[in-house]
A and B are shown apart, each in its own frame.
Chain A
Amino acid sequence: DAGVTQSPTHLIKTRGQQVTLRCSPKSGHDTVSWYQQALGQGPQFIFQYYEEEERQRGNFPDRFSGHQFPNYSSELNVNALLLGDSALYLCASSVFGEPWSGANVLTFGAGSRLTVL
Chain B
Amino acid sequence: DAKTTQPNSMESNEEEPVHLPCNHSTISGTDYIHWYRQLPSQGPEYVIHGLTSNVNNRMASLAIAEDRKSSTLILHRATLRDAAVYYCISIKDSARQLTFGSGTQLTVLP
Residues of A that sit less than 8 Å from B by CB: 4, 33, 35, 41-45, 48, 55-56, 58, 90, 92, 99-103, 105-111
24 A–B contact pairs at CB < 8 A? A33-B97, A41-B102, A42-B87, A42-B103, A45-B97, A48-B96, A55-B96, A56-B97, A90-B43, A90-B44, A92-B43, A92-B44, A100-B94, A100-B96, A102-B30, A102-B31, A102-B32, A102-B93, A103-B51, A105-B34, A105-B49, A108-B44, A110-B41, A111-B42
Q: Nearest chain A CB to B49's CB is how many angstroms away?
A: 6
CA distance A109 to B41 in the complex (A): 11
Q: Is B99 an interface residue (CB 8 A)?
A: yes
CA distance A110 to B39 in the complex (A): 10
CA distance A43 to B89 in the complex (A): 12
Residues of B that sit less than 8 Å from A by CB: 30-32, 34, 36, 41-46, 49, 51, 87, 91-103
Supposing A102-B30, A102-B91 touch, asked if A110 and B42 sit within 8 A by C-beta, the answer is yes
B96-A56 in contact (CB<8A): yes
User: Other than the known A44-B100, A102-B32, what 16 A-B pairs have Cβ atoms closer than 8 Å?
Assistant: A42-B87, A42-B100, A43-B98, A55-B96, A90-B44, A100-B94, A100-B95, A100-B96, A102-B92, A102-B93, A103-B51, A105-B34, A106-B44, A106-B46, A107-B46, A110-B42
Q: Nearest chain B CB to A72's CB is how many angstroms away?
A: 16
A103-B100 in contact (CB<8A): no
A42-B96 in contact (CB<8A): no
Please name the 8 residue pairs, one residue from A and one from B, whose CB atoms are nearest each other, closest first: A42-B100, A108-B43, A45-B97, A102-B32, A102-B93, A56-B96, A102-B91, A108-B44
Most buried by A among B46, B93, B96, B100: B96
